[in-house]
């Protein structure tokens, strides 16, 4: 059994109100996502802005309540848990937010920010709490003298380290890293990524690593899932996805990744048209209006995510059994 199992998860947000305030339309932010995350692995989640990556991450830890579907962690259905039971479960499931400037309370000192979870869950108090916070600061590469300082006194990279220490404070087992390095300079990104990998080895952590940067995801992930318009359209081991991706959308994303060698010129795949509205997605395959290989069937029948070994593709043309 996987550590985390997501089955047919959906999240619809009301977009327009009709008579008596009832929603007439909904934004289908997540539209039937199924995904497993094994204990100790890192699953990368990539896709264009607005495809539903962040919403999925927040639904997993129930910062946002899903519209339907199930999230099972360590064999327990999170949707069936009471508030006290979910509070206890959150000790094992934490999130690192994208913006290190907005995710820390400016009125709280660093020691209070990191120690808040310890205090709420009754894990430590007094001198023990301070010693635990100082230990966490050292683990993420910050000095103990920062204990009494405020967030505005730190750089973006230092703030993100504080956010990571906060996630580690309650001995989390699973962490959603939501664009954890996208707001940082490239040199700082590398430091934070290497630290996250070291922490995973030391503490046995499991990550869902959300990013729009495919280079970053390749560096940290064991497997990669690709989202488009609220659905997962391809998932495979990282090495396989980057070398033999099959879905046309995945290939277009990979073709846009800069190559750090001016003598090598890759072939860029430019998609036509705009991303369809998540309020009124196209019938059949949601990608078919932009796909150069679309068949008549693609406009009529939604493809399922079918697997050939560990490689899953939702495509009538390039998926398992498709007409290549």
Q: What is the C-alpha to C-alpha distance for residues 166 and 287, in angstroms, rounded to an integer?
A: 39
Residue 231 lies in a domain: yes
Instruction: Tell me 306's DSSP state.
Output: E
Q: What is the C-alpha to C-alpha distance for residues 249 and 239, in angstroms, rounded to an integer?
A: 17
Cβ-in-10-Å burial (0-12, 13-18, 19+) of 259 comes to exposed
Residue 49 lies in a domain: yes
Residue found by looking up tokens 């991303």 in the block:
275
Report the pLDDT value the prediction gives residue 27, as an integer from 0 to 100: 92
Instruction: Tell me 145's DSSP state.
Output: G
Do 179 and 211 form a contact (C-beta atoms < 8 A)?
yes
Cβ-in-10-Å burial (0-12, 13-18, 19+) of 64 comes to middle
Instruction: Tell me 288's DSSP state.
Output: G
Residue 136 lies in a domain: no
Q: Where are the alpha helices (DSSP H) in 24-177?
A: 53-60, 83-89, 110-120, 126-139, 156-168
Q: What is the DSSP string of 5-66?
A: EEEEEEEEEEEEE-GGG-EEEEEEEEEEEEEEE-TT-EEEEE-STTSSHHHHHHHHTTSS--
Q: What is the DSSP string of 256-278?
A: TSPPS-TT--PPP-PPPS-PPPS
Name every residue whose Cβ is closer than 8 Å to that of residue 95 and which is 6 or more positions away in sequence: 57, 58, 61, 63, 167, 175, 176, 177, 178
Q: What is the C-alpha to C-alpha distance for residues 3 and 64, in angstroms, rounded to an integer?
A: 20
Residue 123 lies in a domain: no
Report the pLDDT value the prediction gives residue 146, as an integer from 0 to 100: 96
**Structural domain containing residue 232:** 4-92+173-313
Cα atoms found within 13 Å of the Cα of residue 161, Cβ hemisphere only: 23
Report the pLDDT value the prediction gives residue 127, as an integer from 0 to 100: 93
Residue 135 lies in a domain: no
Return phi, psi of residue 92, to 5°. -95, -15
Overall domain count for the chain: 1
Do 210 and 53 form a contact (C-beta atoms < 8 A)?
yes
Residue found by looking up tokens 């995510």 in the block:
305
Residue 114 lies in a domain: no
Q: Which of 263, 271, 222, 247 is nearest to 320 (CA)?
A: 247
Cα atoms found within 13 Å of the Cα of residue 76, Cβ hemisphere only: 13
Residue 147 lies in a domain: no
Indicate which CATH number applies to the domain containing 185. 3.40.50.300
pLDDT tens across the length of the chain (324 residues): 799 999 999 999 988 766 666 667 889 999 999 999 999 999 999 998 889 999 999 999 999 999 999 999 999 999 889 988 998 998 999 999 988 889 999 999 999 999 999 999 999 989 999 999 999 999 999 999 999 999 999 999 999 999 999 999 999 999 999 999 888 888 889 999 999 999 999 999 999 999 988 888 988 999 999 999 999 999 999 999 999 999 999 999 998 877 666 666 667 777 777 888 899 899 999 999 999 899 999 999 999 999 999 999 999 999 876 655
Residue 155 lies in a domain: no
Q: Partners of 178 in the beta sheet?
A: 210
Report the pLDDT value the prediction gives residue 107, as an integer from 0 to 100: 95
Residue found by looking up tokens 């490239």 in the block:
186
Q: Partners of 177 in the beta sheet?
A: 96, 209
Q: What is the C-alpha to C-alpha distance for residues 216 and 210, in angstroms, rounded to an integer?
A: 10
Do 169 and 132 form a contact (C-beta atoms < 8 A)?
yes
Report the pLDDT value the prediction gives residue 105, as an integer from 0 to 100: 94
């Amino acid at each position: 059994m996987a550590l985390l199992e997501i089955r047919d998860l959906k999240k619809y947000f009301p977009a327009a109100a009709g008579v008596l305030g009832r929603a007439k339309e909904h934004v289908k932010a997540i539209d039937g996502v199924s995904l497993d995350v094994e204990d100790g692995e890192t699953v990368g989640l990539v896709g264009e802005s607005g495809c539903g990556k962040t919403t999925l991450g927040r639904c997993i830890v129930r910062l946002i309540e899903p519209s339907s579907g199930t999230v099972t962690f360590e064999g327990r259905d999170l949707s069936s848990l009471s508030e006290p039971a979910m509070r206890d479960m959150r000790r094992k499931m934490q999130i690192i937010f994208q913006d290190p400037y907005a995710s820390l309370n400016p009125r709280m000192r660093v020691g209070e920010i990191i120690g808040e979870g310890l205090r709420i869950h009754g894990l430590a108090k007094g001198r023990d709490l301070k010693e635990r916070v100082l230990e966490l600061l050292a683990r993420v590469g910050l000095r103990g003298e920062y204990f009494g300082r405020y967030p505005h006194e730190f750089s973006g990279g230092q703030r993100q380290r504080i956010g990571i220490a906060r996630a580690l404070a309650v001995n989390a087992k699973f962490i959603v890293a939501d664009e954890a390095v996208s707001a940082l300079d490239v040199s700082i990104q590398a430091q934070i990524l290497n630290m996250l990998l070291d922490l995973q080895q030391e503490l046995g952590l499991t990550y869902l690593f959300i990013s729009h940067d495919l280079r970053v995801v390749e560096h940290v992930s064991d497997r990669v899932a690709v989202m488009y318009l609220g659905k997962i359209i391809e998932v495979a081991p990282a090495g396989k996805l980057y070398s033999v991706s099959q879905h046309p959308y995945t290939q277009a994303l990979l073709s846009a990744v800069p190559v750090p060698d001016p003598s090598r010129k890759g072939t860029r795949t430019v998609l036509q048209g705009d991303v369809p509205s998540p309020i009124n997605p196209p019938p059949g395959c949601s990608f078919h209006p932009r796909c150069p290989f679309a068949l008549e069937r693609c406009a009529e029948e939604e493809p399922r995510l079918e697997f050939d070994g560990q490689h899953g593709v939702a495509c009538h043309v390039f998926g398992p059994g498709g007409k290549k």
